[in-house]
Amino acid sequence: MPKISIAGIVAEDVLNCLPDGVALLGADLTILWTNNCFLEWFGGVDRTGENFYSALANPEIVGAGHCPLQTCFSSGRNASTTLHTQKGSYYHIHAAPLASAALNARTGGRSGTEFDRIVVRLSDVTEEILQEQKLAAIHQAGAKLTDLKPDEIFAMDVEQRIDLLKDNIRHYTQDLLNVEVIEIRLLEQSTGNLIPLLSVGIDQTAADRRLMASPQGNGVTGYVAACGKSYLCHDTTKDPKYLEAFKGARSSLTVPVLLHDCVIGTINVESPSLNAFTHRDQQFLEIFARDVAVALNTLELLVAQRTNAAKQSCEAIHAAVALPIDDLLLDAVHLMEKYIGHDTETVSKLRSVLAKARNIKKSIQEIGQTLGPADVSPAGSQSEHHFKLVDKRILVVDADEQVRNDAHALLERYGCTVETAHDGDQAVSMVRNCLDEPYDVIISDIKLPDYSGYQLMLRLQKFMSHVPIALMTGFGYDPGHSIVKARQSGLHPKAILYKPFRLDQLLSVTETLIDHRPQASE
């Protein structure tokens, strides 16, 4: 190749300074000249006279049906493509036609000139393409974390689904990120505890270590969970935040598991080598962590959906039988009082009917409460704040069927056992026949079909030392000043419910009466 000088600088020297490979090819794709970078990339020997593709060990043309170099010769236009070598390298090549001075002189530079040489520039894009492929593989893996058909999902219980997710996470993390040590912890929002979900290659002592989401004293994992930011530890021996995960660990990478910008856990990978992880690895793990978050959320939603559906079915069954069983209890109590002192055998059988009817209601209620795992309910749910109501027995007295239905629906979700009566006499009979297991709270309408709620209170006081009663009334409706009289006779000052009452008022009054039982204050 003749040396061309531009401003005193030989063009060949300029081309040899480039970080890309450059080659001059003849019309038959024979190499006429290469720069130093080209020589270094392909064996370090002079390739002059060789076929361009042979010199590159016959690489594969990525995504092209025709040879771009021949296209460049025949069209006289620039052409580009990507080559994939047998050694796994990727090169982006750009070819530009170059006509010799003699050929230009013969043709006069007319259009349609046939070019006798092309200049080919090669850029090594191996890292970029491999990273793109890795990124695509991570996205594909993320989509497959919970890739199951609906019938397969619902055939699994909660533990089986969690195990499937853990196996997929383990497989894809090891395969795509090329790590053997993995730890995933989930953040318990109510306590700040970081609960182990998956541990691979971690020493058992480290896997069992109690960690909190805190920037101090809880290692890198606690720091990441508290701050919501990734942490790259290049040398564990020099990092004060690092807590040993396994003997010989020298570097680690920890990223938060984020769902809608909220930290729900952490993923930690470790290596026995120094500086084993790069910021590119951090980017990949952060992307994978988002997919893990979506998979965990999907799993939780599926479990919650199944649980809610089952609970709704159970609640529907309970709603259908609650009032009929109440009527059965009322009939049984009525018959008991009729036969007391006359037929002990009949009374005994009626007591058995009462017990069995109550057991049926309680069984349905307990099944509904235990259908789903406890962790499906969100932390801080209402039931956690009304634990006083669990297993308490409530009698609601009202002629309105809707009120009795609402009492079952509202109170039983908190673990109460609710029974109802239509009028005062039924209420007295129910209370009198339950003295061995008394009601914790009695809620009565102020105006009953047979007499007032105040009069019910007086009747109950004849055989109860303490009557835990609350009265329901419409706003401004108090015939005969019953509430005033009831308060003078011992009604708790806060034991008033105004219809239509709100759930929070109902719960507050019920808990107030539970707290003010004589046995509770002793």
Q: How many CB atoms lie within 10 A of CB 48?
A: 14
502, two tokens? 């709100």
Residues of the chain with CATH 3.30.450.40: 133-303
- Is the Cβ–Cβ distance between 75 and 51 less than 8 Å? no
- How far the first Cα of the chain sits from its last, in Å, is 109
56, two tokens? 């590159």
Q: What is the β-pairing status of strands 5-6 and 469-474?
A: unpaired
Q: Output the CA angle 285-190-227, nearest 5 degrees.
A: 40
- Write the class of the CATH domain 133-303: alpha beta
| DSSP symbol at 477 | -
Q: Could you give the CA distance from residue 265 to residue 513 in angstroms, rounded to a whole number?
A: 42
- Is the Cβ–Cβ distance between 289 and 257 less than 8 Å? yes
| pLDDT value of position 522 | 41
- Is the Cβ–Cβ distance between 67 and 79 less than 8 Å? no
Q: Could you give the CA distance from residue 434 to residue 355 in angstroms, rounded to a whole number?
A: 11
Residue 39: what residue type?
Answer: L
| pLDDT value of position 234 | 94
- Is the Cβ–Cβ distance between 444 and 437 less than 8 Å? no
Q: Could you give the CA distance from residue 431 to residue 234 in angstroms, rounded to a whole number?
A: 73
Instruction: Report the CATH number of the 5-124 domain.
Output: 3.30.450.20
Q: What is the pLDDT along the chain (522 residues), one digit of tens a residue?
A: 555 554 445 577 888 888 899 999 998 899 999 999 998 888 888 889 999 998 888 898 887 667 888 888 888 889 888 898 988 888 999 999 986 654 454 445 444 456 788 999 999 998 888 777 776 766 666 666 656 555 555 566 666 767 777 777 777 777 766 788 999 898 988 899 999 888 889 999 999 999 999 999 999 999 999 999 999 999 999 999 999 999 999 999 999 999 888 999 999 999 999 999 988 889 888 988 888 888 777 666 545 545 555 555 556 666 677 788 888 888 888 888 777 666 778 878 888 888 887 887 777 666 655 554 444 343 334 444 678 888 899 999 999 988 888 888 888 888 888 999 999 999 999 999 887 889 999 999 999 999 999 999 999 999 998 999 999 987 656 666 778 888 999 999 999 998 877 888 899 999 999 998 765 444
Specify whether the backbone of 108 is left (phi greater than 0), alpha (psi in -120 to 50) or beta.
left
Q: Which residues contact 156 (CB under 8 A, 6 or more apart)?
A: 148, 164
| pLDDT value of position 300 | 62
Query: Following DSSP, what letter does each residue of 228-279 receive, concatenated?
Result: ---EEES-GGG-TT---SSTT--EEEEEEEEETTEEEEEEEEEESSTT---H
- Is the Cβ–Cβ distance between 404 and 448 less than 8 Å? no
Q: Could you give the CA distance from residue 298 to residue 304 in angstroms, rounded to a whole number?
A: 10
Residue from 305, 296, 288, 283 nearest 186 by CA: 296
Residue 145: what residue type?
Answer: L
Q: Could you give the CA distance from residue 471 to residue 269 in angstroms, rounded to a whole number?
A: 62
Residue from 276, 163, 183, 260 nearest 224 by CA: 183
- Is the Cβ–Cβ distance between 321 and 360 less than 8 Å? yes
Q: CA torsion sign, 212 to 218 to 223 to 227?
A: positive
Four-way CATH pick for 380-521: 3.40.50.300, 3.40.640.10, 3.40.50.720, 3.40.50.2300 = 3.40.50.2300
Q: How many CB atoms lie within 10 A of CB 2?
A: 5
Q: Could you give the CA distance from residue 185 to residue 198 in angstroms, rounded to a whole number?
A: 7
| pLDDT value of position 477 | 61
β-sheet bridge partners, residue 121 = 22, 94
Q: Could you give the CA distance from residue 206 to residue 268 in angstroms, rounded to a whole number?
A: 12
Specify whether the backbone of 192 is left (phi greater than 0), alpha (psi in -120 to 50) or beta.
left
157, two tokens? 């219980």
Give the global pTM.
0.45
Query: Following DSSP, what letter does each residue of 320-389 receive, concatenated?
Result: HHHHHHHHHHHHHHHHHHHHTTT-HHHHHHHHHHHHHHHHHHHHHHHHHHHSS-GGGSPTT-HHHH-GGG
Q: How far is CA 294 from CA 43, 144, 154, 206, 264, in A?
A: 48, 11, 19, 27, 11
Q: Could you give the CA distance from residue 286 to residue 253 in angstroms, rounded to a whole number?
A: 10
| DSSP symbol at 368 | H
- Is the Cβ–Cβ distance between 474 and 457 less than 8 Å? no
Residues of the chain with CATH 3.30.450.20: 5-124
CB burial readout 301-329, b (16+ within 10 A) else e: ebbbebbeeebeebbeebeeebeebbebb
HSE, CB side, 13 Å, CA atoms: give it for residue 345: 0
375, two tokens? 């962790």
Q: Could you give the CA distance from residue 49 to residue 304 in angstroms, rounded to a whole number?
A: 71
Residue from 269, 237, 232, 231 nearest 250 by CA: 237
Helix, strand, coil distribution of the chain in percent, nearest 5? 50, 20, 30
Residues of the chain with CATH 3.40.50.2300: 380-521
Coil/strand/helix, residue 195:
strand
Q: Could you give the CA distance from residue 194 to residue 510 in angstroms, rounded to a whole number?
A: 37
